[in-house]
């Protein structure tokens, strides 16, 4: 026990924890097993929401709740080894329950937009909630982001992991089929947050899952992300109408403010974009084979030196720059979230794919398994 205590003391010292005695029992669980489970609060009907704290061998830490599968905190080091939380969110459950712009959550059954909240499948028209102007967004009024997921700690060969499952009944939010979804979050010892998605259904249904974390690699309290440097592995994008529904065309980014084929700061051409509020909310067509895990995006925050690389099996990624953050939302530590204070890299199939025959299909058939992976890898430069 003395050897373990000495080891724990060194680990906690490296992490900047001053009072070892105050956190010894929690530390023993976190350092020894890498995962700590605790209560995060209760919903209005008294259901307890669980918080899972994942800590890898290098001290990186991810906190995830089983309400919406939300990543509430993600602590990664800067070039000097100093850890900081790099995602937007809240300190307590009540703020999440009160409503928020999809901070850190799993979005589904279909992420992004469906035109006019309807689609036709096998000759039958399905009507969905129009919860984003005339369109359907991120699964509807009570999508996967607002559900309680069944969560359990699972073994991982390289790191620590938690698995979350949710069974969406036939007709929920207007979608056909009983859909069983599993999402596994793994914090690897290679400083990656790996997200594995799978789903099965008993009736043909559209499925397009993603994670909607808002990142700020300098920390949310540092202000906007306009100075972050960005490179996307995308030569093309899907242009949209005024309600952000794709026109069906795929066009080149060259010669537009959407050209991130070379490193550019996010804010360097943002004011050239049309529409209000100003900012990026665009689906980029990745220059890779669909279904192959490959680099989609590289982001660097110059002052801290933190680098985020996003890898995905998906054919697209939605770059969103927090355009609708308006200073009315107060987050962790009392930080006010203003416009462009975070960016999202929503790996996905294309928006409105269920109504766009030319886009890769998002229809899952009975007997088939939806399966995809996205990895957010952290380093410094």
Catalytic residue among 36, 50, 301, 346: 346
User: What's the angle, vertex CA 250, arms to CA 282 and CA 129, rounded to 5?
Assistant: 55
Q: For this structure, is 212 an active site residue?
A: yes
Q: How far is CA 257 from the centre of its chain?
A: 24
Q: How far apart are CA 259 and CA 251, in angstroms?
A: 11
For residue 303, is it left (φ>0), alpha (ψ between -120 and 50) or beta?
alpha
Contact 219, 78 (CB under 8 A): no
Sign of the Cα torsion 314, 316, 317, 318 reads negative
The DSSP secondary structure of 132-168, one letter per residue, reads: BTTBEETTSTT-GGGSBPEEEEE--TTEEEEEEEEEE
Convert 26-62 to b/e letters by CB count within 10 Å (16 or more is b).
ebebbbeebbbbeebbeeeeeeebbbbbbbbbbbbbb
Tally the C-alpha atoms within 13 A of residue 161's C-alpha that lie toward its C-beta. 18
Helix (H, G, I), strand (E, B), or coil: what is residue 334? Answer: helix
Stated as kind and residue range, the H or E segment containing 354 is: none
Tally the C-alpha atoms within 13 A of residue 190's C-alpha that lie toward its C-beta. 12
Q: How far apart are CA 185 and CA 162, in angstroms?
A: 5
Catalytic residue among 75, 136, 138, 212: 212
Contact 305, 337 (CB under 8 A): no
Q: For this structure, is 346 an active site residue?
A: yes
User: What's the angle, vertex CA 198, arms to CA 358 and CA 38, rounded to 5?
Assistant: 135
Q: How far is CA 64 from the centre of its chain?
A: 11
Give the active site residues: 212, 346
């Amino acid at each position: 026990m003395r050897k373990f205590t000495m080891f724990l003391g060194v680990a906690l010292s490296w992490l900047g924890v001053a009072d070892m005695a105050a956190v010894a029992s929690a530390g023993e669980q976190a350092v020894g097993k890498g995962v700590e489970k605790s209560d995060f609060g209760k919903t209005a009907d008294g259901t307890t929401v669980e918080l899972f704290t994942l800590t890898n061998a290098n001290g990186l830490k991810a906190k995830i709740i089983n309400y919406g599968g939300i990543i509430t905190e993600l602590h990664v080091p800067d070039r000097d080894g100093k850890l900081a939380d790099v995602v937007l969110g809240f300190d307590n459950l009540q703020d999440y329950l009160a409503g928020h712009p999809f901070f850190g959550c799993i979005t589904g059954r279909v992420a992004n937009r469906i035109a006019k909240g309807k689609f036709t499948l096998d000759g039958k028209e399905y009507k969905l909630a129009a919860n984003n102007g005339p369109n359907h967004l991120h699964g509807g009024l009570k999508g996967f982001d607002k559900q309680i997921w069944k969560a359990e700690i699972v073994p991982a060969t390289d790191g620590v992991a938690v698995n979350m499952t949710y069974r969406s009944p036939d007709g929920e939010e207007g979608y056909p089929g009983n859909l069983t979804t599993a999402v596994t979050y793994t914090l690897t010892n290679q400083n990656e947050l790996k997200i594995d998605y799978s789903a099965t259904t008993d009736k043909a249904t559209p499925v397009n899952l993603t994670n909607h974390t808002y990142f700020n690699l300098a920390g949310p309290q540092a202000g906007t992300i306009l100075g972050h440097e960005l490179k996307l592995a995308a030569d093309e994008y899907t242009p949209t109408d005024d309600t952000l529904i794709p026109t069906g065309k795929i066009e080149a980014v060259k010669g537009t403010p959407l050209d991130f084929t070379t490193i550019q700061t996010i804010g360097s051409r943002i004011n050239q974009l049309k529409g209000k509020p100003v900012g990026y909310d665009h689906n980029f067509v990745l220059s890779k084979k669909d279904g192959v895990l490959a680099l989609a995006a590289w982001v660097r925050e110059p002052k801290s030196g933190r680098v985020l690389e996003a890898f995905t099996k998906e054919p697209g990624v939605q770059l969103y720059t927090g355009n609708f953050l308006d200073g009315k939302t107060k987050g962790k530590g009392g930080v006010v979230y203003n416009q462009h204070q975070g960016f999202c890299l929503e790996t996905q199939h294309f928006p409105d794919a269920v109504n766009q025959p030319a886009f890769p299909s998002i229809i899952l058939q009975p007997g088939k398994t939806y399966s995809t992976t996205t990895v957010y890898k952290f380093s410094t430069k």
